[in-house]
Amino acid sequence: SAVISQKPSRDICQRGTSLTIQCQVDSQVTMMFWYRQQPGQSLTLIATANQGSEATYESGFVIDKFPISRPNLTFSTLTVSNMSPEDSSIYLCSVGSTGAGYTFGSGTRLTVV
């Protein structure tokens, strides 16, 4: 299965600023997924990122707040924009397929103060 390198692993940010999270995969993948895990809760899908097209966002998530880039088949970034304390969460990227299962990055623990 694919190996994902996600960074930063954690950050503490001031409200009103933005943070960009990067995920690098060791093999080419068609789709990459971005999730949010709020404190003590399960994972919620933010968006699906395909190379060469705009990301597809889930209900409740918008591109202005969570812009995503997918410049090639091994890399993607998620930006959390104009942050507020409510954005404090773990953000994870994921790749995979049904047969192989889905692999997750180690997560970015974001605290907004």
Minimal CA–CA distance to 77: which of 37, 27, 12, 18?
18
Fill in the per-residue mask, 87 to 106: x = in contact with other proteins (CB under 8 A), - = not in contact. Answer: -----x-x--xxx-xxxxxx
Question: Is residue 65 involved in binding other proteins (CB under 8 A)?
Answer: no
Residue in the block written with tokens 């809760």: 41
Kindly tell me which of 17 and 44 has the beta carbon lying closer to other proteins: 44
Shortest Cβ 69–other proteins spacing (Å): 20
Shortest Cβ 112–other proteins spacing (Å): 18
For other proteins, the binding residue among 19, 32, 33, 49 (CB under 8 A) is 33
> In one letter, which amino acid is 60?
G
Fill in the per-residue mask, 35 to 54: x = in contact with other proteins (CB under 8 A), - = not in contact. Answer: ------xxxxx--x------
